[in-house]
Structure 1
Amino acid sequence: MAAELIGLSIGVLFAGLVIFIRLKASKKPTNAKKLLLPPVFMLTGFLMFIEPKTWIPFWEAGIAFLVGMAFSFFLIKTSKFERVGNDVYLKRSKAFAFILIGLLLVRTVMKLAMEQAVSLPQTASFFFILALGMLLPWRLSMYLTYRRLLENGPAESER
């Protein structure tokens, strides 16, 4: 029980950190690096699969990735940009914090259910792939939106 509480506490801490960073980031212009580097850095997590205890069947990995993609829909819908002169800013969204907390709750329930059926290292593998499935489409969507805003040039009132 203590391990579950520690894990949940860490999840809540990271969710709070993401919300804080997201709110702070909306005060500074964004760029392609800020949008694309987090998924690239996350790819180093695949090194965990060197350890055979973390291996899961490909079909389970595929399901985890698809579940992550489904979750990314909510993040994509709450990530909006605005152009100010030549800069692009991420708009604040009140719904983002609630969606992130909701996803954390769903993830926690899924984790508690899965721990009964698979080992802890395999659960970690499943949720790493789920997180990648959520982060990758979200960041790619944000990058495409960012590029579209840059290509369209400043708004008429800013020219």
Structure 2
Amino acid sequence: MQTVIPATSMFIIIGLFILIRRIRSMYKPTKGRGGRIILPLLFLTPGLSFFLKASGHVTYLQLSIAIFLGVGFSIPLILWSDYEIRNDGLIYAKKSPAFIITFAIMITLRYYFRQHISTIEPGTLNMLIFLLVICYLIPWRIACYIKYKKVLKLKNTVSL
């Protein structure tokens, strides 16, 4: 007998997995020149098929709201994501409870939107959720990369 895990459970499991990884990254040094910070942006490319196949009908108002919410979610993530050089001379993500709380709220809101917006057809809703993710992930990761590069430059200046 096979058991099927509902989509809700998978969403929560994946959200918790991402949150746990972000918390663990605060205890591990960031290696290299910061390429791993930008790497998740490459994982978005398969999702672009949502826009190429366009199974839903998105209005300009819906697009505007998704973009506004996505950029709005990125602002606290950008503010509370930072890097520091610790005593061992390596660069770590700063420990920030505000970041963890913001990320958890964001996951909860995405789940709420997906479950409680029933007036939009599923294809359109998936496109809007993906657009929201793009609009917070891209600015946040680019800002993190820039912050990391500044700390790396400071570290290289101090070590010389």
* TM-score (ref. length: structure 1): 0.81
Whole-angstrom distance in 1 between the partners of 2:21 and 2:82: 16
Q: Output the aligned Cα RMSD.
A: 2.5
Aligned length: 153
Task: Give, in angstroms, the shift of residue 92 of structure 1.
Answer: 2.5
Query: Residue 77 of structure 1 is aligned with which of 69, 79, 83?
Result: 79
Equivalent AA in structure 1 for residue 48 of structure 2? F
% identical equivalent positions: 21
Query: Residue 107 of structure 1 is aligned with which of 107, 110, 125?
Result: 110
Q: How does 1:3-18 map to 2 (within 5 A)?
A: 6-18=6-18
Task: Give, in angstroms, the shift of residue 124 of structure 1.
Answer: 0.6
Change (3 A) 1:73 1:147: same
Equivalent AA in structure 2 for residue 28 of structure 1? P
Residue deviations 1:59-118 (CA, integer Å, cap 9, x gap): 53343122111011121222121124663211222233322221122223322332x211
Residue 15 of structure 1 aligns to a residue in which SS? helix
Whole-angstrom distance in 1 between the partners of 2:54 and 2:155: 51
* TM-score (ref. length: structure 2): 0.80
Asked if the contact 2:74–2:140 (Cα under 8 Å) also holds between the matched residues in 1, the reply is yes
Say if 2:40 is the partner of 1:29: no
Asked if the contact 1:49–1:55 (Cα under 8 Å) also holds between the matched residues in 2, the reply is no
Asked if the contact 1:48–1:54 (Cα under 8 Å) also holds between the matched residues in 2, the reply is no
Asked if the contact 1:83–1:154 (Cα under 8 Å) also holds between the matched residues in 2, the reply is no
The gaps in structure 2 that reach 5 residues or longer are: none
Aligned residue number for residue 49 of structure 1: 51
Change (3 A) 1:69 1:94: same
Whole-angstrom distance in 2 between the partners of 1:58 and 1:11: 27
Asked if the contact 1:11–1:104 (Cα under 8 Å) also holds between the matched residues in 2, the reply is no
Whole-angstrom distance in 2 between the partners of 1:139 and 1:53: 28
